[in-house]
Amino acid sequence: MSAPAPDRLRLRLQRPAFVVDVDLALPRGITVLFGPSGSGKTTVLRCVAGLERAAGEVHVAGRTWQDDSRGEFLPPWRRPLGYVFQEASLFSHLTVAGNLQYAQRRGGGPGGAEALDRAVALLGIAPLLHRATGDLSGGERQRVAIARALATQPELLLLDEPLASLDAARRREVLPWLEDLRDRLGIPMLYVTHSADEMARLADTVVLMDEGRVLASGPPAETLTRLDLPLARDEDAGALLPGTVVERDERWHLVRMDFDGGSLWLRDDGLRVGERVRVRVLARDVSLALQPTPAGAVSIQNVLACTVVGLAEGPHPSQSLVALECGGHRLVARITARAVDALGLGPGRRVWAQVKSVGLVR
């Protein structure tokens, strides 16, 4: 007996003046398809769902949903997946419970009641079950929509910009639930967004797309700091650093996060000592010095010893991008080209990165 096909999709869809051509693994956790509008992200999701026909292969959970070399194509209604759209699209004539029960019946597999109960618990919507969908807030509607998708017992969850229609407050409401799903579900999720904040917070794997092609794919900490990719030239370009909270300064409402390359102080938002976190350091918030600054001489209190590993032109001719290695992790600094020349920066040069601001993403 041959081994089951690995979770993977290979798709090619050609239209007049537009081609989508992707070849991706589908690991557990959230794979974020990231890129500008029109780059083909939603088209990939629709092809995976079978809503559009593309040439290629789709293998999920050891099953073949499409393999054109063998003439196999599983119709959309037989694909065990959940699909969450930008708009919740709940049935207005049914209560929240009615929407979920409809999805459970559609799934039809054994263990449907248990799957429904788990979805309700995962999304924290038990208090909403008897409410009409028209009485829900935007954030509540999206949580119900995600629970409805999970009630079908999917082997793959597709999320097409599920937070795009929500205001900032509702996005902050839903994001922790998405994080919990990522950590507890154990199924592949394809998540479409053009929000750098969502990508940085949720992604286990980033797939950078442009004009229907995959430019790069990999862990976000590596992909975000590659100077050869367009991401490095975005206004919000930066790096992700994982670490552990080791100290709380109650007087100044700060916590200290340690990672392999040093320590960073950040705002205390109720983090626990010992908690694993991930922070985002924007390239525009990193300045460089050839010598460490004496304590108390400047307002910047986060200073890391680093080594220059790469240089590239910035988004404007006056700017340069500097890739830095710091204890096995990568940072990027965006400084003027004149500063690069004045400091004599080049690969192998030892510098001190002065981090003006740190953003908690998890």
CATH code of the domain containing 304? 2.40.50.100
What the block records as the tokens of 4 is 């089951």
- What DSSP string runs through 232-249? GGSTT-EEEEEEEEEEEE
The answer to the question of residue 338 being in a domain is: yes
Do 188 and 264 sit in the same domain of this protein? Answer: no
Amino acid 1: pLDDT: 39
Task: Determine the pLDDT at residue 111.
Answer: 72
Total structural domains in the chain? 2
Written as one string, the DSSP assignment of 258-326 is EETTEEEEEE-SSPPTT-EEEEEEEGGGEEEESSPPPTTSSS--EEEEEEEEEEEE-SSTTEEEEEEEE
Q: Are both 194 and 108 inside the same structural domain?
A: yes
Give the residue among 346, 304, 182, 93 at the shortest CA–CA distance from 174: 182
Query: Is 1 contained in some domain?
Result: no
Tokens of 288: 């460089």
Same domain, residue pair 148 and 202 = yes
pLDDT at 304 over 90: yes
Among 179, 147, 153, 189, CA closest to 7: 189
Look up residue 76 and give its two tokens.
Answer: 């959309």
Query: In 225-262, which positions are buried (b, 16+ CB within 10 angstroms) versus exposed (e)?
Result: bbbebebbbeeebbbbbebebeeeeeeeeebbbebebb
Question: What amino acid occupies position 30?
Answer: I
Considering the domain boundaries, does residue 64 fall inside one?
yes
> Does residue 67 share a domain with residue 27?
yes
Q: What is the pLDDT of residues 7-63, one digit of tens each?
A: 888 988 887 778 899 998 888 899 999 988 889 999 999 999 999 888 999 998 888
pLDDT of residue 290: 95
Is residue 3 a part of any domain in this protein?
Answer: no
> Residue 23 maps to which CATH number?
3.40.50.300
Are both 181 and 325 inside the same structural domain?
no
Say if 132 falls within a structural domain.
yes
3-state secondary structure of 83: strand
Q: Among the listed ranges 33-37, 112-116, 244-248, 284-288, which one has the minimum average pLDDT value?
A: 112-116
Domain boundary among 182, 200, 232: 232
Confidence of residue 234 (pLDDT cuts 50, 70, 90): confident
Average pLDDT for residues 159-179, to the nearest whole number? 87
Average pLDDT estimate for 211-234: 90
Quickly state the pLDDT bin for 5 (edges 50, 70, 90): low
What confidence score (pLDDT) does residue 127 get? 93
pLDDT at position 67 is 92
Averaged confidence pLDDT in the chain:
89
Which residue do the tokens 């500097």 mark? Answer: 322
Q: Which residue bears the tokens 């083909």?
A: 40
Q: What is the pLDDT of residue 112?
A: 73
Residues pairing with 264 in the sheet: 257
pLDDT of residue 252: 93
Identify the band that residue 337 occupies on the pLDDT scale cut at 50, 70 and 90: very high
pLDDT given for residue 362 in this prediction: 64
CA distance 350 to 335: 16
Is the domain of 281 the same as that of 350? yes
Q: What does the pLDDT read at residue 3?
A: 52
Average pLDDT over residues 105-127: 83
271 and 132 belong to one structural domain: no
pLDDT at 302 over 90: yes
Interval 153-165: pLDDT, tens: 898 999 999 988 8
Give Cβ neighbours of residue 333 (< 8 Å, ≥ 6 apart).
283, 286, 287, 288, 321, 322, 324, 353
Q: In this structure, are 251 and 331 located in the same domain?
A: yes
Mean pLDDT value of segment 294-306: 85
What pLDDT digit, counting tens, does each position of 258-292 carry? 999 999 999 998 889 999 988 999 999 999 999 98
Both 116 and 208 in one domain: the answer is: yes
Question: In terms of domains, do 165 and 48 share one?
Answer: yes
Q: Is 63 inside a domain boundary?
A: yes
Same domain for 172 and 295? no
Amino acid at 106: R
**Which residue in 300, 349, 310 sits closest to 330, CA to CA?**
310
| 92-106 mean pLDDT | 89
Q: Quick one: 91 and 153 in the same domain?
A: yes
Q: Which domain holds residue 60?
A: 8-232
Out of 232, 249, 278, pick the residue that ends a domain.
232
Boundary residue ending a domain (212, 232, 252): 232
Average pLDDT of the residues in 351-359? 92
Distance CA 203, CA 221 (A): 10
Token pair recorded at residue 194: 């053009």
Strands 81-84 and 55-60 come out as unpaired
d(CA 162, CA 42): 12
From residue 59, alpha-carbon distances to 8, 17, 47, 180, 205 in Å are 5, 28, 12, 25, 18
